Amino acid sequence: MPSPHPPFRDRHDAGCQLAQRVLQEMDDLGLHPTPEQTVVYGLPRGGVEVAEPLAQQLRCPLDVVIAKKITRPENPELAIGAVTADGQVMRARRQMFFNRGDLHWAEARDAALARAKDQWQQLAKVTPHIHPKGRIVILADDGIATGMTMAAAARSLASKHPASILICAPVAPQPVVSRLRHWCNAIIVLATPSSFFSVSRYYASFPQVEMEEAIACLKRHNAPYLGEEPHLGEEMNLSEERSPSLPTDISE
């Protein structure tokens, strides 16, 4: 149920509002990249509709990073980690539900990875496949709840050595915003309520985004950039090893 006066009409409106703040933040940071030096990434499916106005404002390609929650078999709503389609893995720090070598953890991780790869196959033909190395990358979602999938997505991009990573979303709890600073150069969030219940409360209209809608959005925006063969990137190694610059877990 939305709040009495939600700040966003829908995802497009949220993306337009976010685009203005991102442009201001980039100016404050002294970032003035050309369109060729910038790529906007959305987290499918809802994040794509928020990311599109950002890419329009920046006149740059719109791509995706696909991250799926890793959940306990008996409780699919409880995220214990996240994995991206290119094999980057994050774990919840609060309560290590499974040991790293535990068969149940591996099964849950592999099931989430299969979902991520399946979604990638559906979206790959309408994404531009521009490597982020040396570019300013902007990673957007329609809202952040736990930060698990966003952290995994940011870690995936960081492994490809962009010049800077900006995480942005219309709404997120302040504690999550603070934790996500480890995975980016800057984070831009329009609303950081002290009492956070769900992302949908901050939208007047928040329907589920169907895959066909996400595909249409990407195809519409990326028409000038399409033509390369889809790929998952250089690595598919289910990377969980710890690195000082790329943490592999996130507190809740």
Q: How far apart are CA 11 and CA 21, in angstroms?
A: 15
Task: Report the DSSP beta bridge partners of residue 165.
Answer: 137
User: For residue 43, is it within any domain?
Assistant: yes
The pTM is what? Answer: 0.89
Q: How far apart are the first and last CA of the chain?
A: 24
19-31 pLDDT, tens digit each = 999 999 999 999 9
User: For residue 114, is it within any domain?
Assistant: no
Give the closest residue to 184 by CA, choosing from 116, 93, 247.
247
What's the structural domain count of the chain?
Answer: 1
User: For residue 34, is it within any domain?
Assistant: yes
User: For residue 210, is it within any domain?
Assistant: yes
210-242 pLDDT, tens digit each = 999 999 999 999 999 886 544 444 444 555 544
CATH at residue 186: 3.40.50.2020
User: For residue 83, is it within any domain?
Assistant: no
Q: Which residues of the chain have pLDDT under 50?
A: 95, 229-236, 241-245, 252
What pLDDT does residue 194 have?
Answer: 85
What are the CA-CA distances from residue 198 to residues 103, 140, 173, 203 (Å)?
A: 32, 17, 10, 10
User: For residue 45, is it within any domain?
Assistant: yes
User: For residue 28, is it within any domain?
Assistant: yes
177-187 pLDDT, tens digit each = 999 999 999 99
Q: Residue 107 gets which letter from DSSP?
A: H
What pLDDT does residue 239 have?
Answer: 55
Q: How far apart are CA 110 and CA 172, in angstroms?
A: 28
Q: Show the domain range for 29.
A: 11-66+127-223
User: For residue 35, is it within any domain?
Assistant: yes
Q: In what order do the strands lie in the sheet with 89-92?
A: 67-72, 75-84, 89-92, 249-250
